[in-house]
Amino acid sequence: MLSRRLFLQAGLGLIPWRRTQPLTMQLDWRLNAQFAGLCVAEAHGEYRRQGLAVTLKPAPPNLDVVKTVASQPHTLGCAEESLILAAQAQGVDVVAIATMLQASPLALMSLPKKGLSQLQQLPGKRVGVHSDGRKALEQVLSQNHIPSDPIDIVTIPYRNKHQRLINGEFDAVQCYALDEPLDFARRLGQSPTVLTFHDYGFDAYSQVIFAPTQLVAKHPQTIKRFLTATFAGWHWAINHPEQTARLLVEQYVEPNYQDLDYQTQSLKIIANYVQNSNQTIGTLNATRWQHSAQQFAQAGLIDTLPPLTTSIDLSLWP
């Protein structure tokens, strides 16, 4: 017979016979709507019910997320598929286990007055991209038979890029379609034109969850419980965008982004990237992963193809 204490813990959904396992989730950006599922899982006690004490850790500027995670014994992370593959190709011992987004939000945005409605109009234009986006843009241009030589592609930092676009220094700049166009419209008063890379054949997962290979080998059940809680959080977040936005504003996001309407709109965009009509949210597909890796190698985003058997582990989710 259960003691009164165990009975009460069981009623709360706790796992009293299991010692709480601390884990850190290293993000690749500041806390905002693109991590809503993680925030909901923490705030609603999903991690606690799985016997986990999870710390969500925003990324400082210029953090190498993959190498940082690989060096920490009880840390998972999330990053773009291409960055994980590139690190694996260099011998960094991590493995992809699930994904928060089924497509890449990498995009270009421009002022409506520029009239850039398709990538085919880029020759003769000046485009600002981040260091992680240059090769991706070149890949998309190549796939669509658009010459890159007539395009002035300039590597720029994130800081002040919106103002440089407004000032006319660039015809278009790289953005993350989940939130940056919304933020731009909020500050400028007009919505930018957005050209998303995935609409032009850039087939890649985004916000891929990965972990040190040793952590996965030693603690697979812990990882499974983490993923169960995380995607329970995501399921709730995409089905309750207004409540989730309020949670983010009240508990998680930085002061400059504590705008309820902005967070709600961002969540509604993110839902289209999270949901997958054919399978459980969060699922990776081995064939698609390998195909993306081959495209990245051909475009020079990664040096070599890491072995598929060690690049992803599909046994942990769903």
What would the DSSP string read from start to end of 267-315?
A: HHHHHHHH--TTS-TT---HHHHHHHHHHHHHHTSSSS---HHHHB-TT
pLDDT of 62 reads 85
Q: Identify the burial level of 259 via C-beta atoms within 10 angstroms of its C-beta, where 0-12 means exposed, 13-18 middle and 19 or more buried.
A: middle
Give the containing element (helix H, strand E) for 78.
strand 75-79
Q: How far apart are CA 286 and CA 46, in angstroms?
A: 28
Q: How far apart are CA 306 and CA 293, in angstroms?
A: 8
pLDDT of 301 reads 86
Q: Which pTM does this prediction carry?
A: 0.91
Give the containing element (helix H, strand E) for 309.
helix 308-311
pLDDT (average), residues 253-258: 92
The CATH number of the domain covering residues in 4-102+204-311: 3.40.190.10
Residue 1 has pLDDT above 90, yes or no: no
* From-to residues of CATH 3.40.190.10 in the chain: 4-102+204-311, 106-200
pLDDT (average), residues 219-233: 98
Give the containing element (helix H, strand E) for 88.
helix 81-89
pLDDT (average), residues 204-231: 97
Three-state secondary structure call for residue 185: helix
pLDDT of 189 reads 86
Q: Decide: 260 and 246 in contact? Cβ < 8 Å.
A: yes
pLDDT of 201 reads 95
pLDDT (average), residues 220-230: 98
pLDDT digits (tens, 9 = 90+) for 264-290: 999 999 999 999 777 789 999 999 999
Reply yes or no on domain 106-200 having CATH 3.40.190.10: yes
